Amino acid sequence: MELNNWLYFREIQIDATNINMNLTDWLVAIKLDSNNFDFSKTQPSGADIRFTDSDGTTLLDYWIEYYDTSEQEATIWVKVPLVPANQTKSIYIWYGNPSATNQSDDVSIISDPLNDGSCLAFYPFDGDANDYSGNGNNGVKHGTFYWPLGKFGKCCHPSSSTRNYISIPTITSTPWTISVWMMRKLNFKYYQPVIGHRYADTYAVQDYDWFFGFYNNHIAFITTCIFPTEINKWYHVVLTYKGNSEFDVYVDGEFVKSVSSSRANLDKIQQIGGFTGGFSPLDVQPCYFDHLHIFNRTLTENEITLLSQQLPSYSIGNEIFHGSKLSGVVCDKYGIPIVDKPVKIFIFDKDSGKLYRTTTSDKGKWEADHLPVAENSKVLVVYTLEGDYRGDNDLVGGEFSITQPL
C-alpha cells in the first residue's frame, strides 16, 4: 500500500535493550497524548493512523483500543515482526489523510497475544465486561462499576460502596494462567479478590499487600505470599496453575513464590471481583483491573516477562511533513533553462547536510514530492552540469524555481 496521500509521519524508537531474546510478533502498546502527538492532524477516530516497519514501507498490524481527540489520549497496539535481542527498534506512525478509511485490525491482535490460540478469555474492560477472545465468555455485572482510564484504554473499577462482582461462564482448564494488571487506589488493606471460583473452595488473586490466597467460604487463608505495593501504581500480576494443586506467582515479570492448596475445584474460574459472601462491604476495597487474560496452559517465564513489558520505554521523534513537493527549472548562470540534456539534482537538508533525494531534470524541469522533510524547514538543492549550481529556499509545500548558480 502506498502512503503518498499521508501528510505526516514520525519515528517511534522502542527500547528493548533490556530484553535478552529476539522478539517475534511482539505486541507493543503505543500511548499518545498531547505531549507527544498532535491530534488535530488526524481524523477524529484515528481512522487515518497507519504503522510501518523500520523500512518505512511495510505496513504493520495494529489495533486502536482507545482514541479520544477531545481528551487527547490514545492507546494503540502494534505488532512488531522482529526486534533483535538487546537492541532498539524503529517503527513509523503515519497520519494526516482525511479520506482514509479505518484499517485497525480487530481485537484479536491482543486477545491472543501469544499467537497460539491458548487464550480462553480476554477482558480489556473498555466500558464493559465482555470477553473479546471470541470464546463467548462474556461477564454479567452485579453491582456498580466505573470505567476510568487505566493502564491501557479504560479499566474496571468496582464501586467501594457495595459488594460488586462479575459472573462469567465457568471456565475449566488444567493447567491455566491468569494475567492481569492491577492498581490499588487507597492506602488501607482490605481484601480485594480479582478472579476465582464462586461459593465454597474459592481461590483468588487479591489486593491485600499482594496476598495470593486460597479461601474456604471466602475467609480462611490456605496459603499466602506477600509482595509490597504502592498506591496509584500499576502492577502486572500472573498466577499459573500447573495442576496437582501447585501454583506460581509472578509480579512485573519476576517470579515471586510457589504456593499450593488442597482445595477442590482449582481448575474452575467463574467470577471476577468481589465475592458474594464472607466479607462485609467495607472489607472489600476495590482496586483497578485492566487487561485480564485467561490462558489454557502454563506460560513460560519468557512469555510472562514479555506480557509485563508490552508498554516499553520508547521515544517519538519529530513530526515529518510528508506532503512536501519541490519543483524547479534548471538554468545556467544567465537564467536560461537547460533543456538539451538532463541535469542531476541533489536535495539536502540545509542544516544537517542529510541527502533527501536525487532526481533528474527533463527538458530543464524537475520535481520531487513526498520528501521526508520537516514542515517549513530549509533545503539545499544542488544540480550539476559542467559545474555545480545551488539554490536554497524555504520549504512550504509549494512550487519554486532554482535560478541562482553556485
CA dihedral of residues 299, 301, 307, 310 (deg, nearest 10): -160
Rg over CA atoms, the chain: 28
CATH number of 8-104+312-316: 2.60.40
Is residue 24 a contact partner of residue 16, using CB atoms and an 8 Å limit? no
Per-residue pLDDT for 324 more than 80?
A: no
Q: What number of CA atoms fall less than 13 Å from residue 279's CA on the CB side?
A: 24
- The top-level CATH class assigned to 324-394 is mainly beta
C-alpha cell at 192: 480485594
In sequence order, the 6+-apart residues with CB closer than 8 A to the CB of 207 are 182, 184, 191, 192, 194, 229, 285, 287
Per-residue pLDDT for 276 more than 70?
A: no
d(CA 129, CA 138) in angstroms, rounded, equals 6
Q: Residue 196's pLDDT band (boundaries 50, 70, 90)?
A: low
Place of cell 476510568: 148
Q: What is the DSSP string of 286-300?
A: --EEEEEEEESSPPP
For residue 276, give Cα distances in angstroms to 159, 165, 273, 373.
14, 8, 10, 61
Tell which residue, 163, 171, 148, has the closest CA to residue 193: 163
d(CA 383, CA 67) in angstroms, rounded, equals 46
pLDDT at 297: 97
| pTM for the structure as a whole | 0.81
Per-residue pLDDT for 209 more than 80?
A: no
Range 244-262 average pLDDT = 83
pLDDT at 342: 80
Tell which residue, 122, 40, 80, has the closest CA to residue 291: 122
d(CA 163, CA 284) in angstroms, rounded, equals 7
Kindly report whether the peptide bond that precedes residue 405 is cis, defined as omega within 30 degrees of 0: no
Mean pLDDT of the chain: 80
Higher-pLDDT residue of 373 and 131 is 131
Per-residue pLDDT of 349-369, as tens digits, reads: 777 778 888 888 888 888 887
Place of cell 517511534: 12
Range 310-321 average pLDDT = 90
Q: Strands 325-329 and 365-369, how do they pair?
A: antiparallel
Per-residue pLDDT for 221 more than 70?
A: no
Per-residue pLDDT of 81-106, as tens digits, reads: 999 999 999 999 999 999 999 998 77
Per-residue pLDDT for 224 more than 60?
A: no
Do the two domains 8-104+312-316 and 115-298 of this chain adopt the same fold?
no
pLDDT at 205: 56
Range 269-273 average pLDDT = 80
Question: Where in the chain are the domains?
Answer: 8-104+312-316, 115-298, 324-394
What SS3 state is found at 108? helix
C-alpha cell at 38: 498532535
pLDDT at 38: 94
In sequence order, the 6+-apart residues with CB closer than 8 A to the CB of 205 are 178, 180, 193, 194, 195, 196, 212, 237, 239
Per-residue pLDDT of 15-73, as tens digits, reads: 999 888 889 999 999 999 999 999 999 999 999 999 999 999 999 999 999 999 999 99
- 115-298 is classed CATH 1.10.10.10: no
Range 334-355 average pLDDT = 79
Per-residue pLDDT of 135-187, as tens digits, reads: 999 999 988 889 999 999 999 988 765 567 888 998 999 999 999 998 877 66
**Residue 122: count of CB within 10 angstroms of its CB:** 24
Per-residue pLDDT for 113 more than 50?
A: yes
Give me the percent of the chain exceeding a pLDDT of 90: 43
Is residue 133 a contact partner of residue 89, using CB atoms and an 8 Å limit? no
pLDDT at 204: 52
Strand partners, 191: 284
